[in-house]
Structure formats: structure tokens, C-alpha cells
Amino acid sequence: MTARKPRPARIRLKLFDLDGGDCEIEQSEVDLDALTERQLLWVDVEDNRDGDTAAILDGLIERLRLEDGRRILQSLDAKPMLQNFQDWFMVQVVAVKCTGKAQFEGRGLAIVCGNNFVVSLHRGPIEFIDELYEREHGESRIGSLRAESFTASLLDWHVDSYLHAVSSLEEEVDRLEVAILGNRIHHECLPELAHLRRGASHLRRMLSPHRHVFGALARPDFRPNEDRGDEKEFRALEQRFERAMDAVEMGRELVVGSFELFTTRSAQRTNETMRVLTFVTVLLGTLAVIAGAMGMNFKAPLFDTGAQGFWVTVAAMGLLALVAILLARWRKWM
């Protein structure tokens, strides 16, 4: 098989202009000094670990004056962190992608927030980045947002991706519980429960390290300004993160609850089997007592009937067994 070629690195630049309308521009057209308070530049860079990405980053760092963070920007390591510089700051998070049934993959996302510009840098495609980029056309009025507000919006989309992942996990749990509550208990349920438990734990391990990042963004000492509007947005973002953490924890509890349902259903099935075995044992014991009584050494008119008496006895025992089975089905013993 031929090796799959990696997706080439790409850069997308969109200028949100409140007066002139939104438009896509080239990297060579970026002029940091020309940006006004009624404009917002969004630069999205998709890294592919190749040399062409380094060239793109070098040109972008020079035009946006991000030399202080060159080393950090060139070493995206998919670890949640927050770095504050004089005129800009960078927050690095891990975006989640659902790759299958309760299988989650993390992708590093770095967001640089400066004066009237925002840069998003990630390795491989991120669904909500592409969705947001393709959604806005024409006059979206995003140019009226501060760069900090747009950064908070991107981070909110990032948190929302974890909520979608939890929804995917809940769908798998619901499907499994329906199978468990069915008439038959499949032995494959236990490995699938273990798979769901690993998926829920992996999801929590990816999200929980972001707590110190969102907590630091919401503190009053992080880039204080006069209107303090950014602080309110980041506080709301922290609250949404906490709700996402609660949702992930709830997902883990759902998996544990499914395991308890599985064990309860298995115990119920075992009890039903034991009840049937007990009934069969009692029935066979009763028939054995009758057969033993008929084999006792005493004179009775029945023994003088020969084969006819034998078949009458067998028929009577069969009739007794049939009546007992019908009674058990009526009483729902089996």
C-alpha cells in the first residue's frame, strides 16, 4: 500500500471590517499598523510538521511582531498553557475529535490574541475552526468585537467540542443499555463497557488540565483594563468549562451505571436460570419418587396388567409433568 500523503500546510486570513465588509486577504497584505478598532484580523494556520509551515510562521511572526514567542509558536506541544507578553498573549489548549465509537483524539490548538488580530495555529484540521471560518460571509459585524472577545469565542467553541464528545459517549451508553435490557445478555457487553470506560477516562484526562488555563484567564490580574469587559467574558468561559467538566464526569458515571445495570441484569438472569433448574429438579424428583414407589415389591392389581399397566403409568407421569409445567408457566416460575 502506498503511504498516505500528509495534508499540506495552509494559512487562511480573513479581515472582518465593520465598515468595508469581510474579505479574505493574502499574507503579504497584512499590515498591523493599518488595523483599526473597527477591524479584526483572523489568521488560521494549519500545521503539518513540514518545512513549509515553518516558512509560513516565520513570515507571520515578522508581520505581526510576535518575535518574543517565536520558540513557543514553533513548538506546538498540545499541552494546555497560558503565556502573557507585553502586547499580546497566547493560550494553548487541546481540542477533541471523536474518531469512532467512544474513541477520542486530542489536537493541539494555540490561539494568539493581539491588538485587533487573532491567530489560531493547529496541527491537522479542527472541525469547529473550519465551521466557524466557513460560516461567516459578507458583513458579519465580527469586526466590532475586540480580539479578546473573539478569542473567548474560539475557546467557547473549543469547550463546546467536549460537550459534543460527551453527547457521542452518551449515545453509545444508551445503545449499550438497550442491548443489556434485552431478552438476552451478550457476553460482548463487558468488553464494550471497558471500552466505554477507557473512552470516558481519556476524555476527562484531556479536559481536566485546562482548569488552570481557564482559571487564570478569569482572574482580575490577567491583562486588566478599564472597562473590564474581557474579564466578564473569561469568567463566563470558566463557568462553561466547569459545566463541561460536570458533563464529562456525568458521562463517566453513566458508564459506571451501565456496568451496574449489566451486573444486575446478569444476576437477574442467573436467578431465573436457578429458578428453572430448581423447578426441573423438583419435578424430576417427584417423578423419581413415583417410579420408585411403583418398583416396590408388593402385590397390586396394576402389576398384573402387563405392558398396558406400564404405559398407563408412563402416561400418568407424563400428564403430571405437563400439568406441573403449565402451572409453572402460569405462575411465571419459568
Q: Which residues pair with 119 in a beta bridge?
A: 43, 112
In angstroms, the CA 29 to CA 64 distance is 12
| pLDDT tens, position by position, 109-157 | 999 998 899 999 988 888 888 888 887 665 667 878 888 889 999 999 9
| pLDDT tens, position by position, 11-64 | 889 888 888 778 888 888 888 888 888 889 999 988 766 556 777 888 888 888
Residue range 219-245: mean pLDDT, rounded: 81
Q: What is the mean pLDDT of the chain?
A: 81
Is residue 7 predicted with pLDDT exceeding 50? yes
Among the listed ranges 92-96, 242-246, 300-304, which one has the minimum average pLDDT value? 300-304
Q: What is the pLDDT of residue 3?
A: 46
Is residue 162 predicted with pLDDT exceeding 90? yes
| pLDDT tens, position by position, 201-216 | 889 999 999 999 999 8
Range list of H helices, 141-228 = 147-180, 189-207, 211-218
Is residue 1 predicted with pLDDT exceeding 50? no
In angstroms, the CA 47 to CA 121 distance is 7
Is residue 268 predicted with pLDDT exceeding 50? yes
Residues 6+ positions from 7 with CB-CB distance below 8 Å: 46, 48, 124, 125
In angstroms, the CA 172 to CA 332 distance is 33
Q: What are phi and psi of 51, to 5 degrees?
A: -70, -30
Residue range 249-267: mean pLDDT, rounded: 85
Cell numbers 509551515 correspond to what residue?
A: 53
Burial class (CB in 10 A: 0-12, 13-18, 19+), 116: buried
Q: What is the pLDDT of residue 85?
A: 85
Is residue 229 predicted with pLDDT exceeding 90? no
Cα torsion angle, 164, 170, 174, 180, sign: positive
| pLDDT tens, position by position, 278-312 | 878 887 787 777 777 666 655 666 666 667 767 77
In angstroms, the CA 92 to CA 107 distance is 11
Q: What angle do CA 258, 261, 267 make, to 5 degrees?
A: 145
Is residue 217 predicted with pLDDT exceeding 60? yes
Among the listed ranges 83-92, 101-110, 212-221, 297-306, which one has the minimum average pLDDT value? 297-306
Q: What is the pLDDT of residue 49?
A: 60
